[in-house]
Copies of this chain bind each other. A is one copy, B any other.
Amino acid sequence: MTTPPVRPGPETRNRILDAAEELFVEHGLDATSMRMITTKAGVNLAAVNYHFGSKGSLIQEVFQRRLTDLNRARLAALDALERQAGGVPLKPSKVVEGFFGPALEMACDTEHGGRTFMQLLGRTYTEPNAFVRQFLAEEYAEVLDRFLGALYRSLPGVPHEEILWRFHFMMGATSYAIAGTDALQLFAGKFDDADPSRLMPRLMSFLLGGLRAPLADNGHGRQAKGGPKAA
């Protein structure tokens, strides 16, 4: 009824990946057992080890199949921006949009599991699991370098270290906005409007406000950019 019996054949892999993704969001990586996954996917217990080798490899694959696309989209967005800018530094707002835009778009996709995955991803930046952290760091290395470089050029005169911190802050705000909206009961009953599509402009405005806030006093009150400006 609910899940199609088992019929096809090579569909098993994807059923496992989808089931694992949802369960990881709901219960966490460690608290999700193989038996929970295979039951939800409607496949035999041994299927995970047959198709993926181990639980660790399954976790890696769950992240990889979406993260590769996400980061490709990010790099493509940055490429397009830099191409049409033709040498002149990008506006900070454009760089920020290029990085967080694709993430938020994926977070809005409730049809194909994009939203589910982004909730998982957001929570995973603080995962203690060393294996997952290592893997995430590798997957993000290039994207991070590219976008930080673009941000450095777009904010000349601002110490790179300050930009790095603010990028860190922006990632935090975004991850929580996505991962915590319905995960955390802290604000339970307080949000009238948790529509993820309305999240985008709200968050973007906040991020840019934070990015361009006056720098904390290192002796003189230098600003991160000329004047405040809408997103």
Once the chains bind, are B137 and A185 in contact (CB under 8 Å)? yes
Nearest CB on B from A217, distance (A):
7
A67 at the interface (CB under 8 A from B): no
A209 at the interface (CB under 8 A from B): yes
Residues of chain B with a CB closer than 8 A to A140's CB: 186
- The residue in chain B whose Cβ has the minimal distance to the Cβ of A198 is B216
A77 at the interface (CB under 8 A from B): no
Once the chains bind, are B203 and A169 in contact (CB under 8 Å)? yes
Kindly specify which of A10-18, A52-60, A107-115, A119-127 makes contact with the partner chain.
Answer: A119-127
1/0 per residue A135-179: CB within 8 Å of B?
011001000100010000000000001101110111111111101
Tally of this chain's copies: 2
Once the chains bind, are B201 and A217 in contact (CB under 8 Å)? yes
**Chain A interface: which size bin?**
35 or more
Contact A205 B214, CB 8 Å, known A28-B30, A173-B172 = yes
Q: Which residues of A contact B (CB under 8 A)?
A: 25-28, 30-31, 122-123, 125-129, 133-134, 136-137, 140, 144, 148, 161-162, 164-166, 168-177, 179-181, 183-188, 190-193, 199, 201-217, 221, 227-231
25 CB-based A-B contacts, threshold 8 Å: A28-B129, A31-B129, A123-B126, A123-B128, A125-B180, A125-B184, A126-B176, A126-B183, A133-B184, A140-B186, A161-B193, A164-B191, A165-B206, A168-B176, A169-B206, A171-B176, A172-B173, A172-B177, A202-B216, A209-B209, A209-B210, A210-B210, A213-B231, A214-B231, A227-B228
